[in-house]
Structure 1
Amino acid sequence: MTVSPRNLRALWPLAPCACTALLCLCPALRGRGAEDGAGCGPLLKGSALLLAAGAGPPTLLVRPRSDYVCCHLALAVRLVPALPLGDALYLVPARQALWALDASKPEQRLLAWLRQQAPPDSCHLKCLQILKGLRDLSGRGLEGPLGAQWGRVLSSYALKTALFSVLLRGPWQAWQEQFLVERLEELVLYLRDCLRKRVLMHFFLGNPHVPEAVPVPRFLREAAPLNLLAAFDAATLDAAATQLLAAWSQAPKIIRMYSGPRHLRRSPALCRHVPEASQEAQSD
């Protein structure tokens, strides 16, 4: 969800609150306050701070002194302006002159609820990590219109939205770690179908299927549903669907990176959805 400068005019009085929002979004920079009576955290007390400016949002570099902790450790925090809307919702800068809705707090509530429902050894978060790895690995070297749009079409939020949707289809026991390959394949095929149908709906905006046990701000519940793929043309989405299936052929490498080789024995048909010509080229 984006907001144009014209609509932002009414929100401009909230700008002085942006610094407060930054501290809320960066827990690592918050002090312990009443716990130790200090205004900043112990990490900041023993560190040198450097503000680096570039083309994007400024970055705060936190470099601990050698007498405080290992001098080779450092922390980089992107300082993203955030305008609070209430109910733990924020507007953050998006591309060009638009602002995007940040709903990270409802996401955290949903993830906490999912963790309670899923089995102790659930692989859903590992599936998300591997899916992001597949996207990043497959995006290397992409050229042309798809290369420019690949990271936007399969944004991290789009991948999370797909995961949430597939998770809620159940059953919960199907997400045990021993079924990691099967669930990962289900996620890839779900995303492929969404790309081919040109529809992937925002998980919170106007979604009546969000579990009742997950508190969602009224603003999100009553908002109009939003298609995350509406900004992309059909040719781009078709090309992304094809590229996603080609990326699936690289799954063994990514699974081994995140989970070790034990899961690969359960995947004799990892690439059955990839065109035969592509598989023959790999075997050569």
Structure 2
Amino acid sequence: FACGLWAGAGWHRRYRPFVDAFCVELQGRGHLSSALVLRWFQGHLQRCLGAVRYRLQERCRISLSVCAGRPPTLHIVPCSDYVCCHISMAVRLIPAIPLGDALYLTALPPEGPLEPLATETLWDLNTSRQEQRLLNWLKEQTPASSCHLKCLQILKGLRDLRGMGLEEPFCSQWGQVLSSYVLKTALFSLLLQVPLEAWDERFLVERLEDLVLYLRDCLRKQMLMHFFLGNTSLPEAVVLPRFLKEAAPVNLLANFDRHTLDLTAFQLISTWIQAPHVIRMYSSPRYLRP
């Protein structure tokens, strides 16, 4: 999504510091730049980090991982003598603009090849609240031992393991095409096509294969539609804001060329066929990351 600025006469002069710091011009119109907002956000986080460390130094060690063009990650490691909790955490910090109805525009870089200036102006639509509503509904409708979330976890794991053995530039393309959001969207779409009782854990392998084949078909057709934008097939129990219901459908694979998608589909099926070998090979100590 692009966040265009509708400004009256004199607005740019009156708010010149804001315009210079956060806006870019695209097709003759001012847009709020996700890249500039993210850069500003990272700078403020780094300046505040010292104060946070000082207040929590007896409880945990805090560090910030910053990569240009990507949201920063806050790492929290409890001190060994702090008995309350010994769980380390990594929290991705993402600036967001509230739209109302639990919808947010977030400064996440878009997946797929785009012009640099276009990338700077694009914002991601966060529908996590709607996803949670869907998951709550599925929890009520599926068997108690449903395997749908486990299927998603396994597929993500296979994607990551296969990615270790790929060379650039396809390694990056593999991760972009099969992003976690794409995998999740494929799962949600398949869940509404297969009888919900068929997701019992007894059928884990069958449902996982269904998910792989469904995703392969989407890649071959170059089409996987956003699950919430303009989707008229959602269960009535999953209430959507008007903005989502009336939005035009969006193809999540539209920015990728046919060759990349065909190659990804081929590698996906190859990974599924060789899954036991891939898991054994890349789970060895040689490939385990610290």
Q: TM-score, normalised by structure 1?
A: 0.72
**Alpha-carbon offset, residue 72 of structure 1:** 5.6
**Alpha-carbon offset, residue 159 of structure 1:** 0.7
Superposition RMSD in Å? 3.1
1:173 to 192, 197, 213: 197
1:226 to 250, 256, 273: 250
**Alpha-carbon offset, residue 60 of structure 1:** 2.8
Residues 89-98 or 245-254, more deviating: 245-254
Tell me, in whole angstroms, the C-alpha distance in 1 between the residues paired with 2:142 and 2:31: 43
Tell me, in whole angstroms, the C-alpha distance in 2 between the residues paired with 1:160 and 1:120: 20
Counterpart position of 1:62: 76
Counterpart position of 1:76: 90
Change (3 A) 1:8 1:66: farther
Tell me, in whole angstroms, the C-alpha distance in 2 between the residues paired with 1:67 and 1:46: 9
Offset from partner CA, 1:145-168 (integer Å, 9 cap, x none):
422211111111111111111111
Tell me, in whole angstroms, the C-alpha distance in 2 between the residues paired with 1:167 and 1:192: 16
**Alpha-carbon offset, residue 51 of structure 1:** 4.7
Tell me, in whole angstroms, the C-alpha distance in 2 between the residues paired with 1:82 and 1:59: 15
Map 1:168-207 to 2 at 5 A: 168-207=192-231
Counterpart position of 2:174: 150
Tell me, in whole angstroms, the C-alpha distance in 2 between the residues paired with 1:143 and 1:47: 41
**Alpha-carbon offset, residue 102 of structure 1:** 0.8
Within the alignment, does 1:50 sit opposite 2:62 as a pair?
Answer: yes
Change (3 A) 1:145 1:53: closer
**Number of residue-to-residue matches in the alignment:** 230
Counterpart position of 1:121: 145
Which residue identity is paired with 1:69? V
Which residue identity is paired with 2:95? P
Which residue identity is paired with 1:127? C
Contact conserved, 1:135 with 1:154, CA < 8 A, in 2? yes
**Alpha-carbon offset, residue 46 of structure 1:** 6.8
**Alpha-carbon offset, residue 80 of structure 1:** 1.1
Within the alignment, does 1:161 sit opposite 2:185 as a pair?
Answer: yes
Contact conserved, 1:199 with 1:227, CA < 8 A, in 2? yes
What stretches of structure 1 of length at least 5 have no aligned partner?
20-43, 257-284
* Structure 1 counterpart SS, 2:267: helix
Contact conserved, 1:134 with 1:250, CA < 8 A, in 2? no
**Alpha-carbon offset, residue 52 of structure 1:** 1.7
Counterpart position of 1:261: none
Contact conserved, 1:123 with 1:180, CA < 8 A, in 2? yes
Counterpart position of 2:239: 215
Contact conserved, 1:2 with 1:94, CA < 8 A, in 2? no
Tell me, in whole angstroms, the C-alpha distance in 2 between the residues paired with 1:52 and 1:179: 42
Tell me, in whole angstroms, the C-alpha distance in 2 between the residues paired with 1:254 and 1:140: 10
1:246 to 266, 270, 276: 270
Q: TM-score, normalised by structure 2?
A: 0.70
Change (3 A) 1:191 1:71: closer
Tell me, in whole angstroms, the C-alpha distance in 2 between the residues paired with 1:239 and 1:63: 40
Tell me, in whole angstroms, the C-alpha distance in 2 between the residues paired with 1:45 and 1:54: 21
Map 1:79-118 to 2 at 5 A: 79-95=93-109, 96-97=119-120, 98-118=122-142
Tell me, in whole angstroms, the C-alpha distance in 2 between the residues paired with 1:161 and 1:128: 10
Tell me, in whole angstroms, the C-alpha distance in 2 between the residues paired with 1:84 and 1:8: 20
Tell me, in whole angstroms, the C-alpha distance in 2 between the residues paired with 1:255 and 1:113: 33
Q: Percent identity?
A: 61
